[in-house]
Amino acid sequence: MSSNTLDFEVTPNERPTPAADREAILANPGWGQHFTDHMVTIRYSAEKGWHDARLQPYGPIPLDPASQVLHYAQELFEGLKAYRQDDGSIVSFRPYMNAARMNRSARRMAMPEIPEELFVQALEVLVRTDRDWVPGTPGYSLYLRPFMFATSRVLGVNQPSQEYLFMVIASPSGSYYPRGIKPVTVWLSQNYTRAAPGGTGEAKTGGNYAASFAGQAEAVAQGCDQVVWLDAVEHRWVEEVGSMNLMFVYGSGSEARLLTPALTGTLLAGITRDSMLKLAPDLGIPVEEGKISIEEWQAGCESGEISEVFGCGTAAIISPVGAVRGPDREWRIGDGEPGEISMKLRAELLGIQSGSRPDPYGWVHKII
């Protein structure tokens, strides 16, 4: 046991989900609705550091009403998946990137960093215990949700909590596209911004998501699927779509190149985004991190210079954008079908995750 890992106290669930019920859930898991039989908890205090690591039955946790998280939202989370590969092994994808991102979020939220080895150990302990919950259906996975929040029992706002709880829960997830991949229509929100310079946009903290629900509801009210987040100052520079990073394909075929908004501090540094930026050049598709305004986006689509646009993130891998709508403008991208470059990148990444393609990058992390 390295000094950065802990011994877990294990309490097995004495009433696990019956196998037949579990199999019924795995046949049609939906997204984020069902949870496995166990969870991980690890406590932190300023005095003891990380301690009291447990694997225990999944269930409610007692929380003092004065816990800081309930008042000041000192919280952060991560999201990644465990996949059952074609040879039966169970893997996760770049979990150390999630650990590093959680620690960057922790620094912004004045929370303690967790050793990366302990973060990954916690995932492994849970996945090994609940291995029967990792679906075998292609495109399905076990979504892992590590999160951490402030538990000090104090209402003072002058200092961050001195105590925290880190947890991991797991939820089987089905295909993001049960009826096949369909491009989405997105809404250019002028009324709401997700993140401002100096704020918490690049931290994966719950408050960013709480603040995004109204924008998403506005998008739906406008007949769109997702909201596009624009910069908070000029409301014209494109940042993200829903909870995904955005990629723009210029040109097509062997001339195609990718542009994605640069990480300015207001965007979340997606692990799928990073993977695309590494994969694409190896497939002969040059990439650039830069800036794109809504005017350039519209003009590029109308001239045909921009051939495809897609969101990318752990949940969907790639979500093609087919149409854009705003209060005073509307345009289409491509012919309403998923584009060639989007699908090529998706197939490549999915192939690495499922084990059907080689992994020259060492991204796949074997758990079992």
User: Where do we find the tokens 């929370």?
Assistant: 111
120 makes contact with ligand PLP (CB under 6 A): no
| Spatial contact of 146 and 170, defined as CB atoms under 8 Å apart | no
* Spatial contact of 201 and 237, defined as CB atoms under 8 Å apart: no
Phi, psi of 228 (to 5 degrees): -95, 130
Name the residue nearer to ligand PLP (CB basis): 154 or 269: 269
Give the shortest CB-205-to-ligand PLP separation in angstroms. Answer: 10
Choose the stretch contacting ligand PLP; rule: CB under 6 A; options: 48-56, 219-227, 268-276, 295-303. 268-276
Q: What share of the chain is helix, strand, coil (3-state, %, to 5)?
A: 25, 30, 45
- Using the contact rule CB under 6 A, the part of the chain among 12-20, 32-40, 160-168, 243-251 near ligand PLP is 243-251
Residue 261 touches ligand PLP, criterion: CB under 6 A: no
Closest approach, Cβ 313 to ligand PLP, in A, equals 3
Tell me the CB-side half-sphere exposure of residue 232, using CA atoms within 13 A.
Answer: 13
Nearest distance, CB of residue 234 and ligand PLP, angstroms? 20
Task: Give the number of residues in contact with ligand PLP, rule: CB under 6 A.
Answer: 12
Provide φ and ψ at 276, rounded to 5°.
Answer: -60, -40
Per DSSP bridges, beta strands 184-188 and 317-326 are parallel
Rounded least distance, CB 318 to ligand PLP, Å? 11
Q: What would the two tokens of residue 149 be?
A: 């929040």
Q: Is 272 in the site for ligand PLP (CB under 6 A)?
A: yes
Q: Are 260 and 342 in contact, with CB atoms under 8 Å apart?
A: no
Beta-sheet pairing, 163-173 with 38-45: antiparallel
Cβ closest to ligand PLP, residue 271 vs residue 364: 271
One of 130, 240, 246, 279 touching ligand PLP (CB under 6 A): 240
Of 124 and 239, nearer to ligand PLP (C-beta) is 239
334 near ligand PLP, judged by CB under 6 A: no
Do residues 187 and 177 make contact, with C-beta atoms less than 8 angstroms apart?
no
CB 185 within 8 A of CB 325: yes
- For 243-303, what is the HEC assignment? CEEEEEEECCHHHCEEEEECCCCCCCCCHHHHHHHHHHHHCCCCEEEECCEHHHHHHHHHH
User: Under 8 Å CB-to-CB from 157, ≥6 apart: which residues?
Assistant: 72
**Span 73-102, contacts to ligand PLP by CB under 6 A:** 79
The answer to whether 141 and 134 are in contact (CB under 8 A) is yes
Q: Could you give the string, one character per residue 136-165, with x where binding to ligand PLP holds by CB under 6 A and - elsewhere?
A: ------------------------------
| Minimum distance, C-beta of residue 8 to ligand PLP, in the bound complex (Å) | 26
Distance CA 273, CA 260 (A): 8
Contact call for residue 205 and ligand PLP (CB under 6 A): no
Identity of the residue, 37 or 239, whose beta carbon is nearer to ligand PLP in the bound complex: 239
243 binding ligand PLP? (CB under 6 A):
yes
Residue 255 CB, nearest distance to ligand PLP (Å)?
27
Which residue in 29, 112, 215, 270 binds ligand PLP (CB under 6 A)?
A: 270
Of residues 141, 260, 298, 314, which one binds ligand PLP by CB under 6 A?
314
Sole binder of ligand PLP in the list 313, 326, 338, 339 (CB under 6 A): 313
Please identify which residue in 171, 200, 226, 245 interacts with ligand PLP, judged by CB under 6 A. 245
CB 162 within 8 A of CB 197: no
Question: Least separation, in Å, of the C-beta of 227 and ligand PLP?
Answer: 11
Q: Is residue 167 a contact partner of residue 39, using CB atoms and an 8 Å limit? A: yes
Enter the DSSP assignment of 67: B
Tell me: does residue 268 bind ligand PLP (CB under 6 A).
yes
Q: Which residues bind ligand PLP (CB under 6 A)?
A: 79, 240, 243-245, 268, 270-273, 313-314
